[in-house]
């Protein structure tokens, strides 16, 4: 049976009046906002740790004009380490949450996929444009207004600190997340429907709860395990 074979009946459930479908729409949007926050958190923490290392080990006020190659590589390694840790948590969260929602209820998952695509599209456009605006504002203050070192410049630096992960991390990473969730989710929900027919709904619901518990753990890691005030490493 094809993936679309079951779409000839129960079409009335593809409505916001059907609670599982409506809940799927809400959860899909929530996952998009979690993803953008988690990606920004990973990049921000990596940048903070890199600045800590620079302050402690790179002394340009002693006559040196540039940092050594080894110190520069260490800074890059710190940023890369936190980016990889963040993406590891995010990928496993998306993987297990997709399994959990696919095994929970088919129409819930349809609403989830629709919401992921819609919220993801507009959130990506927003973040790319907002991040670019913050970045350009700093450049204008530095090059055109010639106010580098002023309070205005400090404000634009703060804005650019948010703008860089907006335009270079979260927004551009939205596309593979949407693609993975959609393609892998279609396979997972087909497996869940087939398993429900053969083994009953209790097994699929139990698997959904187990997968959701694992995904929640990685959600916790993506924020509390990556926070700036946490342990280094």
- Is the residue at 152 inside a domain? yes
CA 98 to the chain's CA centroid = 14
pLDDT digits (tens, 9 = 90+) for 164-189: 888 888 888 898 889 999 999 989 99
- Three-class DSSP category at 148: coil
Separation between Cα atoms, residue 89 and residue 3, nearest integer Å: 30
- Is the residue at 74 inside a domain? yes
Cα angle at 171 between 226 and 153, to 5 degrees? Answer: 80
| Structural domain that includes position 211 | 17-223
Separation between Cα atoms, residue 221 and residue 110, nearest integer Å: 27
- Is the residue at 2 inside a domain? no
Give 201-204 contacts, CB < 8 A, sequence gap 24+.
204/103, 204/104
Provide mean pLDDT across the span 50-71.
75
Asked if 33 and 123 count as a contact pair (C-beta separation under 8 A), the reply is yes
Q: Measured on CA atoms in the order 142, 147, 149, 151, is the torsion positive or negative?
A: negative
Number of independent structural domains in the chain? 1
Q: Which of 21-25, 57-61, 105-109, 141-145 has the lowest mean pLDDT?
A: 57-61
Mean pLDDT of the chain: 86
Residues contacting residue 218 through CB under 8 Å, at least 6 positions apart:
89, 90, 92, 93, 96
- Is the residue at 45 inside a domain? yes
- Is the residue at 165 inside a domain? yes
- Is the residue at 7 inside a domain? no
Separation between Cα atoms, residue 95 and residue 87, nearest integer Å: 12
- Is the residue at 9 inside a domain? no
The confidence score (pLDDT) of residue 233 equals: 44
Residue reference for tokens 């959609």: 182
- Is the residue at 232 inside a domain? no
- In degrees rounded to 5, what are phi and psi of residue 73? -65, -35
């Amino acid at each position: 049976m094809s993936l679309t074979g079951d779409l000839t009946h129960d079409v009335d459930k593809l409505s916001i009046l059907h609670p599982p479908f409506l809940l799927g729409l809400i959860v899909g949007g929530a996952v998009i906002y979690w993803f953008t926050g988690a990606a920004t958190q990973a990049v921000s923490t990596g940048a903070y740790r890199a600045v800590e290392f620079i302050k402690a080990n790179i002394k340009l006020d002693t006559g040196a004009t540039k940092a050594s190659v080894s110190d520069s590589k260490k800074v890059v390694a710190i940023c890369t380490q936190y980016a990889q840790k963040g993406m590891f948590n995010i990928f496993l969260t998306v993987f297990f949450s997709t399994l959990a929602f696919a095994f929970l209820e088919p129409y819930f998952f349809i609403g989830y996929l629709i919401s992921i695509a819609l919220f993801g599209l507009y959130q990506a456009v927003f973040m790319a444009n907002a991040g670019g605006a913050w970045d350009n504002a700093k450049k204008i203050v530095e090059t055109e207004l010639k106010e580098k070192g002023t309070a205005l410049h400090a404000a634009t630096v703060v804005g650019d600190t948010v703008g860089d992960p907006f335009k270079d991390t979260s927004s551009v990473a939205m596309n593979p997340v949407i693609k993975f969730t959609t393609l892998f989710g279609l396979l997972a929900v087909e497996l869940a429907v087939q398993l429900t027919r053969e083994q009953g709904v209790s097994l699929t619901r139990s698997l959904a709860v187990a997968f959701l518990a694992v995904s929640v753990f990685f959600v916790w890691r993506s924020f509390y395990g990556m926070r700036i005030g946490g342990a280094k490493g």
